Amino acid sequence: MSTQAEVRRLTAPDIRARKGTTPIVALTSYHAHTARIVDRHCDVILVGDSLGMVMHGLETTVPVTLDMMILQGHAVMRGSRQALVVVDLPFGSYEASKEQAFMSCARVMKETGCGAIKLEGGRRMAETIAFLTTRGVPVMGHIGLTPQAINTIGSFRAQGRDEKDWAPIEEDARAVAEAGAFSVVVEAVAEPLAARITAQVEIPTIGIGASAACDGQILVLEDMLGLSPRVPRFVKRYGDLGPGIGAAIEAYAADVRARAFPGPDNVYAMRGKPGKSS
Ligand code: KIV
């Protein structure tokens, strides 16, 4: 008999059903320890391919591999109990064909146990999204700024700031929703466009730099904690952990150099011999 209270993990249909109700709270996490904390407060944990930039110091997400996503996805599943864990498909693991996308999703879902995957692209990915969702893969879409396309778009800039650019982005949102995605990330788009998209699609929109008009919000954890050296202007810093971590490491280094650490409380005494550390 289980001694722990059973907690039912949120599912993609649960998140889908939140359209028009309470806002969906989402954050990224790549590790078991941060997942444990995020899990207490969030509905969705995204193991984003931003891990390439945040954990590995890469300039873009393009070099991230499926193996990197699976390793961190597994860690986040071990650290969390109630949130829906969504794992990103990295560049090159799904665009070639819908069959390639399915094989990548199957690996991610079998090897991590996650509840859904996310992939970037609107109309161009609609056929793939329909293929996946009819074969047991819950898909979160991602439109607007799609960072994996950095080499064709040239820079990480906001989308839809001129009304003449709105139509293709709205079409992307509708295509992803009609293909069967359970939700869609809308990244770095002008507020009125985010509001129009949210009103047009029947699935929840999860905004990042896309205003409070969206049905939910997501941020990169390290960005909102103040741990990232550079962040986009849409990020609100809810913490400033960098100086605290720096001060702790500085104190540790000083203690080690002064032989003040380990102290009596941090060493093992011999059994049966009373002493300060017994
Ligand atoms: O990779 C990521 O962290 C993301 C979010 C920015 C939505 O895709």
Angle at 43 between CA 41 and CA 47, to 5 degrees: 100
* CA dist., res. 258 & res. 119, Å (int): 51
Other Cβ atoms within 10 Å of 92 Cβ, number: 15
> 108-132: string of b/e by CB count within 10 Å (b at 16+)?
bbebbebbbbbbbbbeebbebbbbb
CA of 275 to the centre of ligand 1 (A): 53
- pTM for the model: 0.94
CA of 50 to the centre of ligand 1 (A): 6
Query: Any residues with Cβ below 6 Å from ligand 1, and which?
Result: 28, 46, 48-50, 88, 185, 208, 218, 220
- Supply the pLDDT for residue 101: 98
The tokens describing 123, both together, are: 């109309």
pLDDT band at 240 (very low <50, low <70, confident <90, very high): very high
Other Cβ atoms within 10 Å of 277 Cβ, number: 14
Give the residue whose CA is nearest to atom 5 of ligand 1: 48
User: What ligand 1 atom has the least distance to the C-alpha of 50?
Assistant: 1
Q: Is the pLDDT of residue 64 over 90?
A: yes
CA of 49 to the centre of ligand 1 (A): 6
pLDDT in tens, 105-121: 999 999 999 999 999 99
Q: Could you confirm whether 187 is annotated as catalytic?
A: yes
- Supply the pLDDT for residue 104: 98
* Ligand 1, pocket-test mutation among 54, 187, 224, most atoms within 8 A of CB: 187
pLDDT in tens, 10-33: 999 999 999 999 999 999 999 999
* Ligand 1, pocket-test mutation among 54, 93, 208, most atoms within 8 A of CB: 208
Other Cβ atoms within 10 Å of 138 Cβ, number: 24
Give the residue whose CA is nearest to atom 4 of ligand 1: 48
- Supply the pLDDT for residue 277: 47
* CA dist., res. 227 & res. 123, Å (int): 35
- Kindly state the greatest CA–CA separation across the chain: 80
- Supply the pLDDT for residue 278: 47
User: Of these residues, 187, 191, 202, 222, which one is catalytic?
Assistant: 187
Give the residue whose CA is nearest to atom 3 of ligand 1: 48
Per-residue 3-state assignment (H helix, E strand, C coil) for the chain = CCCCCCCCCCCHHHHHCCCCCCCEEEEECCCHHHHHHHHCCCCEEEECCCHHHHCCCCCCCCCCCHHHHHHHHHHHHHHCCCCEEEEECCCCCCCCCHHHHHHHHHHHHHHHCCCEEECCECHHHHHHHHHHHCCCCCEEEEEECCHHHHHHHCCCCCECCCHHHHHHHHHHHHHHHHCCCCEEEEECECHHHHHHHHHHCCCCEEEECCCCCCCEEEECHHHHCCCCCCCCCCCCCCCCHHHHHHHHHHHHHHHHHCCCCCCHHHCCCCCCCCCCCC
* CA dist., res. 172 & res. 23, Å (int): 22
Q: Is the pLDDT of residue 1 over 80?
A: no
pLDDT band at 236 (very low <50, low <70, confident <90, very high): very high
Tell me the β-bridge partners of 140: 118, 183
- The distance of Cα 123 from the centroid of its chain, to the nearest Å, equals 22
* Ligand 1, pocket-test mutation among 38, 91, 220, most atoms within 8 A of CB: 220
